[in-house]
Copies of this chain bind each other. A is one copy, B any other.
């Protein structure tokens, strides 16, 4: 089998095997386009295609003039979403966390309105946060609150405290997690290499059955993993 597979796949699979098996350590140089054409007896197109696929998969990284190398794959840093303590998580691994915060007013987009259970185009307070680790931007968040909850004075990053101080008792948080291709502005701000996906977390804080704040958190897949701690399911477990 696999005899009639595209030629470039032969190259991809051989190099991928060498990388995942550790024959090629992180930092090791990958054969150049010309070397691949000679070693594997394929054309330049196939060699280039193979390198692009491997780069897309995050296994190698190319620099103009210098060549491709096996990518350093530092362990994905854990982000503990149950607590959502970005600074705690960063301190735990010896990074210096900072963040930029910008707040303004806007009209709720349709999807945000649905999440907040308000009418579309209702006024909301929008907060954009860029989280940095040792100066490098590593996470984006855009938070929306119905404007009635925001008194405009407290630390905007302290949702729980501020809303709590306003007499709202936050009861739970729901997070919807999926991965997608970054939008151009996101690749730009986070300085993402081509092919890296982002985790998109839609987080909503609830006070009883009322949503009081919702946010979109964008996290590069190649640097972080989300960690959830949940009570064990028991009792009413049904068949799956």
Decide: B177 and A229 in contact? CB cutoff 8 A: no
Q: B157–A240 contact, CB under 8 A?
A: yes
Does A78 interact with chain B (Cβ within 8 Å)?
Answer: yes
Can you list 24 A-B pairs, Cβ within 8 angstroms, ordered by A? A56-B181, A56-B195, A57-B181, A82-B233, A83-B233, A84-B240, A85-B237, A88-B240, A158-B237, A160-B233, A161-B237, A164-B234, A170-B233, A170-B234, A172-B231, A173-B231, A174-B227, A176-B225, A177-B227, A178-B221, A179-B197, A205-B232, A206-B232, A228-B228
A133 close to B (CB within 8 Å): no
Write the A75-111 contact mask toward B (1 if CB under 8 angstroms, else 0).
0101001111111100000000101000000000000
State whether the Cβ of A58 lies closer than 8 Å to any Cβ in chain B: yes
CB <8 Å contact, B228 and A179: no
Contact B173 A229 (CB under 8 A): yes
Q: In the complex, what residues of B have CB within 8 A of residue A161's CB?
A: 237
The yes or no answer to A180 lying at the interface (CB within 8 A) is yes
CB distance from A150 to the nearest CB of B (A): 18
In the bound complex, how far is the Cα of B58 from the Cα of A87, in angstroms? 34
- Distance in angstroms from A53 CB to nearest chain B CB is 9
User: When the two chains form their complex, are residues B81 and A228 in contact, meaning their CB atoms are under 8 A apart?
Assistant: yes
Q: Are B240 and A176 in contact (CB under 8 A)?
A: no
* A230 within 8 A of partner (CB): yes
Q: Which residue of B lies closest to A225 (CB)?
A: B178
Given the interface pairs A87-B238, A197-B221, the reply to whether A232 lies near B170 with Cβ below 8 Å is: yes
